[in-house]
């Protein structure tokens, strides 16, 4: 199985909401996602897709209106004539002096295959596109698997938000990166990205063969 990311489009929202309902107890409305996608100066949202063969993409608009068209039409990413299904998504907001990871989720059937890590790398790239110097996020204190992934990419615990999650009153661990625009972080990100892509390629080849 090949996995890849691309910008979320408005036509992707119903599928994103399906994954969200499997992952969270308080899902966003479709209108919320539409507003986020329209706020291109401060928001970036991406989706992960899965394909049994290396995907090909039809040409997409570039330049001034590229983002506008991307939010109106779902990109026609195909494999053997079939649009590759969405298996995960994530987003970031730009605030005054950092980018905030607002959400990240993976279809339960595709968890454990590095899709979440692929999305995280895409969100870090998105934060750099927004010229954010740092990244922050909240994660459940019980979700050690996610915390370990974030630690791998330079996030560090900086405090907690008591009873942050409304479904069960669980605390949130607040994590921050150091500056992501330094040569040190960029070198680390490049190395981690190369390892991730090599792992995904090997994983895809095992499935195909």
Active site residue 138: yes
Q: Which of 33, 150, 153, 185 is catalytic?
A: 150
Q: Which of 138, 164, 165, 170 is catalytic?
A: 138
Active site residue 6: no
How far is 96 from 91, CA to CA, in rounded Å?
17
User: What is the set of active-site residues?
Assistant: 138, 150
């Amino acid at each position: 199985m090949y996995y890849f990311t691309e910008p979320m489009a408005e036509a992707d929202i119903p599928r994103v909401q399906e994954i969200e309902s499997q992952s969270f107890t308080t899902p966003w409305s479709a209108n919320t996602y539409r507003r986020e996608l329209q706020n291109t100066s401060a928001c970036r949202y991406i989706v992960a897709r899965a394909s049994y063969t290396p995907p090909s993409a039809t040409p997409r608009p570039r330049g001034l209106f590229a983002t506008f068209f991307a939010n109106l039409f779902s990109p026609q990413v195909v494999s053997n004539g079939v649009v590759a299904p969405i298996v995960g998504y994530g987003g970031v907001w730009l605030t005054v002096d950092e980018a905030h990871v607002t959400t990240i989720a993976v279809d339960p059937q595709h968890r454990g295959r590095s899709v979440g890590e692929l999305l995280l790398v895409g969100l870090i790239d998105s934060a750099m596109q927004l010229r954010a110097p740092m990244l922050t996020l909240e994660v459940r204190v019980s979700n050690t698997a996610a915390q370990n992934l974030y630690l791998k990419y330079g996030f560090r615990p900086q405090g907690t938000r008591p009873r942050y999650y409304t479904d069960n009153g669980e605390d949130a661990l607040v994590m921050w990166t150091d500056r992501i625009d330094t040569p040190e972080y960029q070198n680390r990100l490049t190395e981690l990205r190369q390892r991730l892509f090599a792992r995904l390629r090997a994983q895809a080849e095992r499935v195909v063969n």
